[in-house]
Structure 1
Amino acid sequence: MLTSMRRLVSVLAVACGLVVIYEPVWAQTQTLEEIVVTARRRDEAIQNVPVTVNVFTEQAIESAGIESPRDFVAMVPNMTLVEVQNVGNSFITIRGISQARNSEPSVAVLVDGVLETNPYQFDQELTDIREIEVLKGPQGAVYGRNAIGGAILIHTVDPSDHFSGAVRVGVGNGTSEKAQVAVSGPIDSAGTLKYRASLDYYDTDGYRQNAFLDRKADPYRDYSGRLRLLWKPSDQWSADLRAFRDRVETTAFYYIIPRGNEASVFSDFSTPPNANDVTSPIQNNNLGTDNRDVTDLALKLDYSLGSGTLTAVSDYNRTKEIDTGDAFDFRPIPTSLLAFFTGGVPAALGGPFDESQSQFINETTYSQELRFTSRKIGDFSWIAGAYYVHTERFI
């Protein structure tokens, strides 16, 4: 439902713009655009790369309405994304290789060549994206840690040589709004320093009804912004500074525990477990909260030597997420399992009791990569490098 909603937003956004129809002359020869990938840390035509790669170009991203990871993952064979009810926990599975909750991922994710060191930042709105590459199979030789299942390479739109801007707005069912704006251009007259800035806002009241609270159980609001500064004083070297900030506000822990007999609390144990049994409604009395903040700063330096390119990548990331909400068996107090056993406790002594749960994640990482990528001499090329990461994690 959520994916359909977001695609509807994209359709409405396109409908608000100017549509130009071009009828091709059949006598003309049409050529296919060459797809260039960076699967081996260098620009290569996709047909020359001996890796299983699924590529989404900027045109494919626009046509398919890809606005979040779940959208492109659903289009890649042998790949799934499991999203739980706290936005930072998502499990990527490629060819059967997955991960455990609150653990390191099995798939490396890189944005503009910078490795995401924090697994809690992956599930976010995709704004101002130029290309997405999905590499299947172990990629540790090239991408290092957390790449046993594969790698996902996300490339944002590069700063432009001339001033440009884009605005997209959309509305959808479920009282949903979406707005995106991006501006880009040179800063100095020589065009050696360029920028690109983008903002994204998405807000929806949700789609799943909470029968007890008589409101939507899954409202979602996301604010994000991205800034890139690209300085290229000569053909020999360049500096790419990237800043990203994201804030998500939603709810958590509105699970459904099926009951064959809603009037009997012991049906929690006698009802056969079935993940597809949604006959019991969402009815937790604690709506819960789930707030996530992501801050990421990265600097990428490239220096071209005669024999290859020397690259240094520095990254700082901090992600915080707080989840609070109802606990087993996710029902209002009068019909909950705990209240059945503590219902005789008077209010003066704090009864009847109810359960709640929470999780706090605070992770800060610092990473440094140094890499040398050789020039290609015939069919021979090589890469050598070192990578360091320091993680401070509290869960």
Structure 2
Amino acid sequence: MFTIKSLTPVALAVTAALTSQHAWSNELNTDKSSDEMEVIVVTSDFRQSSLDKMPSSITVIDQQQIEDEGAQHFEDLLNSVANFNWSGGSSRAKYFQIRGVGEQEEYQGAPNSSVGYIIDDIDMSGLGMIASMYDLQQVEVLRGPQGTRYGANALAGLIYLKSNDPTDVFEHGAEVSLGDDQLTTFSGFSSGPLTDSGKLLYRVSLQQHQQNGYRDNLYLDRDDTNSRDEFSGRVKLRWYATDDLAIDLSVLHADFNNGYDAWTLDNNGFDTLTDAPGVDKQRTTGGSLKFTYSGAEAFELVSLSSFAQSDTHHGYDGDWANPDYWAARVCEGAPCQYDYTWDKVGDRQTMSQEFRLSSTEAGRLFNNSTDWLVGVYGMKLDEDNDTNEFYNGWGDALTAEYSATNLALFGQLDSDLGRGYALSVGMRVERRDSEYSDSDGDGFEPSETMWGGHIALSKALSDNHESYFRLARGYKAGGFNMSLPVELSDKKEFEAETLYNYELGIKSVWLEGNASTNFSLFYMDRRDQQVSASQQNPLEPQKFILYTENAGSSHNYGAELEGNWYATDNLKVYGTLGWLETAYGDYEYQDKYGGTVDLTGRELAHSPNFTYSAGTTYRTDSGWFANLTASGKSEFYYSDSNDSKSDPYTIFNARIGYETDVWSAYLWGRNLFDEQYGVRGFYFGNEPDIDWADKQYIRFGDPRQLGVTVNVKFM
């Protein structure tokens, strides 16, 4: 239920919007000019280049698509990105895979992401669940290594969320959504100048989202043990301090207080039996401060500082049932006794500082043909974790401390070679020093120097077709495994992974500018591939041994196609298609019985061969609106440690409504045909009454949901 405390910030924003004396004069996308194709700028790029000129495979989901599809969380947009997947081991999507490379979970060990995740220049890699889509300008997904720009946390690619900036005129808005599963979402924003001179601007956006989480706990007679209780708030200030100095401050606060009761022994999907439902919480406060100085003739100076403090809590009922359930079953001639819970509390703090100089038009090199950029970057990360396991009255606790310092130098040259050719060359050298210790006596101090970068050659084939070839090298730091048994002592540490990505693409405009396509082919050469492995202890089945190790080289390849077509002034059609082939290198491991499992050549986990999406939006001149989308995936392996697979699936969403200059109202439905689809799977023994026999268990995604949304905007 809502509390007065949780609703107060949103209520203030909504009240401010509704009582504004200024009527909004802009039209809400009801004239045909709002549907004309526009230049999309990639804000995560050093120079904020246009998407059609970027020599790389990038998906940009703009604010219009976010609003048309009614996306509330990044999870609602995942299937719109080709060759992108996620692992549903948490209440919200936070473990991502791009082109088959990424994480599936992080139960222990030091943070070491393959997919970077950044919100308004605040690095949240590995903590991606706080991803409200309200008042967001766009979502950017960059595929392939981003070694020059982002370094060690972007081996597979990067997710960048950019919220709307402050405006120089007053804008206010409020939105309410209601739906089944007891869904209620209250949102509001306000933006405008704080001074008469217009040199100091602000923007505030707030959202409170709640729903029960689609699970009925039959044992506790509750329907909210898997609930979502999520608050997100952003504040932005922009100060034009002088004609040559702009200062941008972004502050983010998110408090996600979610339940985690998602697994069942009989795989029925939505009726749980736990007596101690889990939690999945994250409370983050962070900010970024950006100074942009343009007073020098030959260069622009940017200083970017960021800070984030995150408190996390993830826990679950590991026996997935209750004492009464187990006591009614027989284990070795007696009532079963099985009670297991797992709980982890984390505290992460990150601070970073970047300085970079980039050339102006007057500062170009080589006969005014080449832009240049150089920079230095530093980051300090500290994380403490307390992990507790309880099994039949017996407890085991582990306290761990980790710190890492990263220092990097980077540079980039972008040259116009003439005759339609352009060349981009970038490089980054990064040093990481880290330190780890825990209450079991483990301690490591690994340090390493890594490098990455890119070479990209593009060619304008005509005014409407831009081709490119890109070679990028990415890197991911090595690390260590904590609290391993003696028989796995040789796996205490693992090496850094490198990835070479070869990409060929063409970006085109068709039909007199009414249609566009982006197509890319890629080949990835992974060396010292890091693999997450696990073993169930046959003597203590409730316990798992989790560790990371290096496999041999492996190769992923495939293609991505994205398209947009403005068929008429009122009708837009868009879609994506991804094809992906993945394989392990030379990799074998020992199962819990001592047998050898050979995964050499097998496809990687959470790497479907095909991902696809299609959507259409229709707006009438009189204000009626409709959006229909379909998206899906082919089958994929759930895990690196077994051969269980998902089923292929397709999900349909729809949204219809009526829009005016000031207010809009919509009816919407997600997963219209109530498709039952798996987002995470395990294959292990978790039932003592069948002698801990291995069995596949599946966590399913959200079922059908229907609702209504009303919003108002004023100026």
- Asked if 1:290 is matched to 2:280, the reply is yes
Letter in 1 for 2:60: V
Range moving further from structure 2, 156-165 or 116-125: 116-125
Question: What are the residue-to-residue correspondences of 1:26-45 with 2, within 5 Å?
Answer: 32-45=37-50
Identify unmatched segments of 5+ residues in structure 2. Answer: 1-23, 386-715
Shift in alpha-carbon separation, 1:333–1:46, aligned structure 2, 3 A: same
Q: In structure 1, what is the equivalent of residue 318 of structure 2? A: 327
Higher strand share goes to which structure? Answer: 2
- Asked if 1:77 is matched to 2:85, the reply is no
Measure the CA separation in 2 of the matches of 1:338 and 1:100: 34
Measure the CA separation in 1 of the matches of 2:358 and 2:329: 64
1:383 deviation in Å?
2.2
Measure the CA separation in 1 of the matches of 2:49 and 2:244: 20
- Asked if 1:46 is matched to 2:36, the reply is no
Measure the CA separation in 1 of the matches of 2:270 and 2:188: 42
Judge conservation of contact 1:92–1:105 (CA < 8 Å) in 2: no
Letter in 2 for 1:361: G
Letter in 2 for 1:71: D
Shift in alpha-carbon separation, 1:211–1:231, aligned structure 2, 3 A: same
Q: In structure 1, what is the equivalent of residue 692 of structure 2? A: none
Q: In structure 1, what is the equivalent of residue 144 of structure 2? A: 137
Give CA deviations for 1:39-92 in whole Å, capped at 9, x if unaligned: 5311322221111111112111111222212122210010012232355x7211
- Asked if 1:390 is matched to 2:380, the reply is yes
Q: In structure 2, what is the equivalent of residue 109 of structure 1? A: 117
Range moving further from structure 2, 284-293 or 183-192: 284-293
Question: What are the residue-to-residue correspondences of 1:83-162 with 2, within 5 Å?
Answer: 83-87=88-92, 90-99=94-103, 101-102=105-106, 103-112=111-120, 114-162=121-169
- Asked if 1:314 is matched to 2:283, the reply is no
Measure the CA separation in 2 of the matches of 1:234 and 1:83: 48
Measure the CA separation in 2 of the matches of 1:49 and 1:21: 28
Range moving further from structure 2, 195-204 or 245-254: 245-254
Judge conservation of contact 1:180–1:198 (CA < 8 Å) in 2: yes
Letter in 1 for 2:314: D
- Asked if 1:373 is matched to 2:358, the reply is yes
Shift in alpha-carbon separation, 1:338–1:301, aligned structure 2, 3 A: farther
Letter in 1 for 2:115: V
Shift in alpha-carbon separation, 1:206–1:279, aligned structure 2, 3 A: closer
Shift in alpha-carbon separation, 1:23–1:241, aligned structure 2, 3 A: closer
Measure the CA separation in 1 of the matches of 2:238 and 2:156: 32
1:168 deviation in Å?
0.6
Range moving further from structure 2, 66-75 or 154-163: 66-75
Give CA deviations for 1:318-357 in whole Å, capped at 9, x if unaligned: 11112334122x1111223898669989xxxxx9773222
User: What is the Cα-based RMSD across aligned positions, in Å?
Assistant: 2.9
Give CA deviations for 1:180-203 in whole Å, capped at 9, x if unaligned: 100011111111111101110101
Alignment partner of 1:223 out of 211, 220, 231: 231
Q: In structure 2, what is the equivalent of residue 348 of structure 1? A: none
Letter in 2 for 1:34: V
Secondary structure at the counterpart of residue 141 of structure 1:
coil
1:173 deviation in Å?
0.8
Higher helix share goes to which structure? Answer: 1
Judge conservation of contact 1:161–1:185 (CA < 8 Å) in 2: yes
Which structure: larger Rg?
2
Secondary structure at the counterpart of residue 62 of structure 1:
helix
Secondary structure at the counterpart of residue 40 of structure 1:
coil
Q: In structure 2, what is the equivalent of residue 273 of structure 1? A: none
Measure the CA separation in 1 of the matches of 2:269 and 2:241: 64
Measure the CA separation in 1 of the matches of 2:135 and 2:229: 18
1:34 deviation in Å?
1.9
Measure the CA separation in 2 of the matches of 1:60 and 1:352: 52
Shift in alpha-carbon separation, 1:312–1:279, aligned structure 2, 3 A: closer
Letter in 2 for 1:244: L
Judge conservation of contact 1:339–1:353 (CA < 8 Å) in 2: no
Paired residues in the alignment total 349
Range moving further from structure 2, 97-106 or 178-187: 97-106
1:363 deviation in Å?
0.8
Shift in alpha-carbon separation, 1:21–1:297, aligned structure 2, 3 A: closer
Shift in alpha-carbon separation, 1:159–1:210, aligned structure 2, 3 A: same
